[in-house]
Structures are given as C-alpha cells and as structure tokens.
Amino acid sequence: MNNIEKLKSAVADSGADALMVTGPANRYYFSGFPSSAGILLATQNGAWFMTDSRYSEAAAKAIGNAEVRKTDRENTSAKLINALCAEFGVKTIGFEDAVVTYAEYLDFAKKLDAELLPAQKVFSAQRAVKSREDLDKLIVVERIAEKSFTEILPLISTDITERELAAELVCRFLKNGADDKSFDPIVVSGARSSMPHGVPTDAKLQKGFLTIDFGAKKDGWCSDTTRTLCIGKPTDEMVRVYETVLLAQLAGIATARAGVTGGQVDGAARDVIVSAGYGEYFGHGFGHGLGLEVHESPTAAPTSDAPIPAGAVMSAEPGIYLPGRFGVRIEDVLYITETGNENITKLSKTMIII
C-alpha cells in the first residue's frame, strides 16, 4: 500500500501549497510505511518523508516515491520543512487538524515559516474510498475475527466472567493470525447488555442477552463486528426486540449505496425501530467508516448529509437498549458500490441461544 500519488493529487483541491501528514494512521496509509514517528510532506510535484535514525534506513528502502530525509538534533523536521518551503515556494501547509493536539499546533506554528491551514476533510476524503486491494485486507482480518468468535462459543456459560471471555477472544485473534485487537472487546451480559459500550467486568455471565462487540487488527486494517446471543430461553419481548433490530439493519443495508446520504441510510433503519415503538432506545447512528481506524469517514447518522462515495467501507449496527433490562445490537460491515453494497461479514444473524 502506497498512496503518495493520491496525496500529491489532493494538494490541488486542498487550498494549500502542501499537505503535511503527522498522524500514524494517515502516515501509514499514504506512505505504506508503519512507524511511530515521522512527517510526510507533499506538494503537487514532490513528496518527502522525514524521520529519525530509528526508521530512516528502513523507510528509504520501503518508500519508493518519496525522498526520505533523516532528522536529528541539528536537522529537525521543522528545519527540513522550512528548507523545502523556501525551495519550492510553499506559503501554506494543510495539516490534520483533527489529529494534531493544540500543543503540537502551537509548536508547528512557532517553528514553521508557512501558514498552517486546517485540511482534515481532505485527508478523510482520501481514506473514505477503499481500493479492492484495501477491501481484500479488510476481508482477511474480518475472517480472523469471525473464526475467533466462533471458537469462543463453546466457552460461554454462567461459569465464566465477562472479562475472561473477552480475554479468550483476544487470545484467539492472535493465535489466528491477527497482529492485535482493533479495540477492547465489549462483552456485557444480562441487564448490562443495555449499555452499548459497556466494559467487561469480573462478574460471571448472566442469563439473558450477551452482547459481544469485537474487532481484530492485521497489517494496520481493522475489523468490527457485533453479535447478540442469549443465555437461556429468551422471552417473547426479547425475541421481538431482536427481530426488530435485525429488520432495521436489513432496511439500512438495503438502502446503502453510493450517492445516498448517511442520514438516509440511518433513517431507513430508524424508521423500523420507531414503528416498533422503540425509537427512544436507539441512541447512536446506524454506522461508521472502517479501515485503518475503527471509526473513520463516512458516517451514517441522522445528521449525516453527505453522499456516501463508492468504495466506502461502513459498519451497519443499529441497536435497541432498554435501560436496566437488556440490549441488542447486530453489526456487519458493508463495502459500498454504485448499485448497492457487498456485506463482507459472514457470521449468521440467527439468534444464538446457549
């Protein structure tokens, strides 16, 4: 993966003379080189990757279409950037305003000769569209996560704690080829399943719904899936809520395609939940972008008024959460196309009863 040419092309539409990448996700996406430090600077006609001695040799071998410059105490990143700005007439630099901290911004503003311009939308738009190569990598990590989830099903009982089950899941990610988890698993049971982002505890699993929200990470790419199971026989209301969430998800999936807004996709799912009488219990959006980060552009929420681009990868995760009682969320991952979408999640959505 190397998207430096995309970055150079984006300069023209950014309103700046150059674009500066400092965040780890964008640095990896555009350079194709994983590192914990470094700055990528691009103009329409050139690109430079600045990093210290820990990475300079490896970066020079890995990044073919950018000049790698080594930084040290004398040749700081700021000095190298200022020299490039003087050489190529760069007066303004677009930066990742949603990534750079205020302290970092003040430091850049003090040391750089060029004016800094917010350009997060430019970076987000580039990463919102995934290539087929990107999609293949997302499918690989999705299959690792699904295999791991299937392997922990026999462990589920009221004799194991939420935290223990979460740990077993992460262990299987690694055994099945993942580099890491993409986020801390959400494992909540019984009445605690009503908390959409509940944290696993040392309490043993309770009878009733068990929500497991999980994701693995490999080669930088993230998966994100949720399944809600039931320990013991569900009540009629539990079945009704589960089926409502599933119908809502299917309605959103049927609506999702390139050119449709995220708000329209969210609305299709939300209408199902509202019609069933549970509208006030669906408090989050239908979905979010997924890629090198678990949450990225685009989004599908009531306020999402931008058209979804072809090539976007998004979660589809409506839910109903009845405080103090139970909750249900079902989450798949979609690849958006001109005519619809491809669901890359292959786990069954039939309620699993244990």
Domain boundaries, the chain: 4-127, 132-343
* CA 5 to chain CA centroid, nearest Å: 23
Structure tokens at 19: 């674009």
* CA 170 to chain CA centroid, nearest Å: 18
What pLDDT does 43 receive? 97
> For all residues of the chain together, what is the average pLDDT?
97
Q: What homologous superfamily does CATH list for 4-127?
A: Creatinase/prolidase N-terminal domain (3.40.350.10)
What pLDDT does 10 receive? 95
What pLDDT does 38 receive? 96
pLDDT digits (tens, 9 = 90+) for 148-181: 999 999 999 999 999 999 999 999 999 999 999 9
Q: For the whole prediction, is pTM greater than 0.85?
A: yes
Mean pLDDT of 93-111: 97
Q: What is the 3-state secondary structure (H, E, C) of 5-20?
A: HHHHHHHHHHCCCEEE
DSSP-derived pairing of the beta strands 92-95 and 115-118:
parallel
What pLDDT does 157 receive? 97
Comparing 4-127 with 132-343, is the CATH topology the same? Answer: no
Q: How far apart are CA 243 and CA 110, in angstroms?
A: 57
Structure tokens at 231: 């320990």
Q: How many CB atoms lie within 10 A of CB 179?
A: 15
Q: Is the pLDDT of residue 61 over 80?
A: yes
What pLDDT does 64 receive? 85
pLDDT digits (tens, 9 = 90+) for 249-291: 999 999 999 999 999 999 999 999 999 999 999 999 999 999 9
What pLDDT does 1 receive? 66
Q: What is the 3-state secondary structure (H, E, C) of the chain?
A: CCCHHHHHHHHHHHCCCEEEECCHHHHHHHHCCCCCCCEEEECCCCEEEEECCCCHHHHHHHCCCCEEEECCCCCCHHHHHHHHHHHHCCCEEEECCCCCCHHHHHHHHHHCCCEEEECHHHHHHHHHCCCHHHHHHHHHHHHHHHHHHHHHHHHCCCCCEHHHHHHHHHHHHHHCCCCEECCCCEEEEHHHHHCCCCCCCCCECCCEEEEEEECEEECCEECCEEEEEEECCCCHHHHHHHHHHHHHHHHHHHHCCCCCEHHHHHHHHHHHHHHCCCHHHCCCCCEEECCCCCCEEEEECCCCCCECCCCCEEEECCEEEECCCEEEECEEEEEECCCCEEECCCCCCCCCEC
Read off the amino acid at residue 321: Y
Residues recorded for the chain: 354
pLDDT digits (tens, 9 = 90+) for 324-344: 999 999 999 999 999 999 999
Beta carbons within 8 Å of 81's beta carbon, 6+ residues apart: 20, 39, 41, 50, 93, 112, 114
Q: How many CB atoms lie within 10 A of CB 314?
A: 29
pLDDT digits (tens, 9 = 90+) for 193-206: 999 999 999 999 99
CATH 3.90.230.10 fits 132-343, yes or no: yes
What is the sign of the dihedral through the CA atoms of 132, 136, 137 and 141? positive
